[in-house]
Amino acid sequence: MELTIRPVRPGDAEPWHRMRCALYGEPAPERAEIDAWFRDRPDGICLVAEDARGALVGFCEAGTRSYAEGCLSTPVGYVEGIWTEPDVRRHGVAARLLEAAEAWARSRGLVEMASDCTPDNAASLGFHRDRGFQEVEHIVCLRKTLVPEAPAHPQPSGTER
């Protein structure tokens, strides 16, 4: 498969957003996140895979984090998200995107790369393991919405009419 792996460009915003929505699902990522990426991510890169027709068929967002579970160095490279079109899976597209992200991290002097996936995502876990990642921790993250407390009402003093 003929591919070009390159940094994302502003003209790629629409297909990149579509692919991010496919990866992250509901609620869909805001389109504004794409615009913010170009303004606010000096510590990150988004790489895209472009096929011979010029269509984007995958992406890998990578950045740096000051801490990642199991890592011994700081900062570390971090795969924030990686996704390929279903019809190009198992053709090495994601592997090439990851290799480019790792090269980017090495070029910044980083010596470790970290990532994450949900425990039920066997395909992603297998992909990461096949590329040398080791599972270092298994966590369950929890959240709770706090309902604002009702405002305190003054108690009647017996002098009101």
Look at residue 154 in the predicted model and tell me its pLDDT: 66
Look at residue 1 in the predicted model and tell me its pLDDT: 78
Three-state DSSP state, 87: helix
Three-state DSSP state, 44: strand
Look at residue 152 in the predicted model and tell me its pLDDT: 73
Antiparallel, parallel or unpaired: β 44-51 and 56-65: antiparallel
State yes or no: cis peptide before 75, omega within 30 of 0: yes
CA 100: distance to chain centroid? 15
Look at residue 157 in the predicted model and tell me its pLDDT: 65
Grouped pLDDT means (10 residues each) for the chain, 161 residues:
93 93 83 80 91 97 94 96 95 97 96 93 93 89 87 66 53
Look at residue 8 in the predicted model and tell me its pLDDT: 94
Rounded to two decimals, the pTM is: 0.83
- DSSP state letter for 80: E
